[in-house]
Amino acid sequence: MTETNQTHPNWQSVQSCLMQINPSFCQEDPSGALTLQLDDEEWMLEVTPTGQLICQAGYNLDDMKSLLSDGTAEDLGSDELAKQAKFYLQQTTSKYRNQLKADGFTERVEMNDEYVAVFFERVIDLQAIDTLQQTVEHYCRLFQSKL
């Protein structure tokens, strides 16, 4: 069994192949995960060098504050902002949760002073490039069809 916190030995070739298949992948760190903005603009897909496929959505609390205050002088506390962000996140995830869980993803929510996000994660085989390509294409279509 491979440890999930170790970079796959062929990560560079996996990166290269995935970026050729879909040039929309971006990467902040040359040895880090590949990220793809999905058509449902709240969602991103990430392929990690440790063999994880992650579908994620989230809200920046500063953006949420701007959205909710909309020019008013009302100063919302971070607890209220997080509560509102979780409400919007629930609406965002409800379209996909059942399908992602049926596909073997586990769900976790992460909150801090900057954002509230939900992560659906599952292990993928980075050696099976064709299968990985089909999987990425499948989720691109899934997040396109639910708009």
Range of the domain at 36: 7-51+124-147
DSSP characters over 51-119: SEEEEEEEEEHHHHHHHHHTT------HHHHHHHHHHHHHHHHHTTHHHHHHTT-EEEEEE-SSEEEEE
71 and 99 share a domain?
Answer: yes
pTM for the model? 0.85
* Residue 121 backbone class (left: φ over 0; alpha: ψ -120 to 50; beta: rest): beta
64 and 88 share a domain?
Answer: yes
Q: How many domains does the chain have?
A: 2
43 and 78 share a domain?
Answer: no
Mean pLDDT by 10 residues, the chain (147 residues): 62 91 89 91 93 93 75 66 84 93 96 90 94 94 74
Contact 136, 126 (CB under 8 A): no
